[in-house]
Amino acid sequence: MIHTVIKTLVLFFCALLFCVSCTLKFVRDDGQATVAPPPLKSASATEGERVPGTRDRESLQPGVIGPGDLLQITVYGEKELTGLHQVSPEGFIIFPFIGELAVKGMTNFSLAERIAERLREGFVREPQVYVLVKEFNSRRVFVLGQVKNAGKFTIIHEMSIVEAISVAGGFTNFADINNVVVTRKDEGSREIRFVLNMEEILAGKANNFYLLPGDIVFVQERFF
């Protein structure tokens, strides 16, 4: 009888230990499957590694008018309504009979339609209006420093830093091509600077950098 009881107790404890072991294994495996690994620590980017802000593609579309642009507006058969108009910094022009017109963000075609529509309101019977943007001053970038032909240049569609240096005649012999600074103003008029390594960009080791209207490119002088 005692032998049977002992045998029963031994079997019970063996079964209990087996259940505890399985339970512990289940909790351990489940914990490993659900616990996320620690996040990777990203290195802080330098100014040269910063990704340029989102390009204002709307302002770079063909014909889009911006502040400072010079417009040639022609109303056929109406000499007094034909002339040059400079867009104000706020994006307006003053047009005869109509007064103040908000033109920023419009295309030359949509502006011609707007003027014609307003002139039909008792001023001109069948106005034929043509708008030409003579100077895209709102799309200018400035390339200065150690380039052969420093100056201001117009972005027609979009312009990369490589294209900007090219239209400026290329680098001089004294240019530090690994230290090209692009200064840009954000929406709050705060200056942001990007330091570009042109050697890596030209070699295809770094992404090209696309400019926005108003950007200032300055090529530093190399110290020997």
Domain parsing of the chain, residue ranges? 58-135, 139-221
pLDDT at residue number 151 = 96
pLDDT at residue number 32 = 34
What's the pTM? 0.63
pLDDT at residue number 111 = 96
Helix segments in 48-124, DSSP class H? 108-119
Q: Which of 206, 222, 214, 178 is nearest to 50 (CA)?
A: 206
Query: Would you write out the chain's pLDDT as a tens digit for each of its 224 residues?
Result: 444 444 444 444 444 444 434 433 333 333 333 333 233 222 223 333 334 444 454 455 666 899 999 999 999 999 999 999 999 999 999 999 999 999 999 999 999 999 999 999 988 989 999 999 999 999 999 999 999 999 999 987 789 999 999 999 999 999 999 999 999 988 788 899 999 999 999 999 999 999 999 999 999 998 86
CATH (one of 3.10.560.10, 1.10.510.10, 1.10.3720.10, 3.60.70.12) for 139-221: 3.10.560.10
Greatest CA separation for the chain: 127
Q: Please enumerate in sequence order all residues whose Cβ is within 8 A of that of 115, keeping only pairs 6 or more positions apart, or say none.
A: 73, 75, 95, 98, 101, 127, 129, 131
pLDDT at residue number 60 = 57
pLDDT at residue number 110 = 95
pLDDT at residue number 62 = 60
* Cα separation, 115 vs 93, whole angstroms: 11
- The Cα angle at residue 65 between residues 64 and 71, in degrees rounded to 5: 125
The CATH homologous superfamily of the domain defined by 58-135: wza like domain (3.30.1950.10)
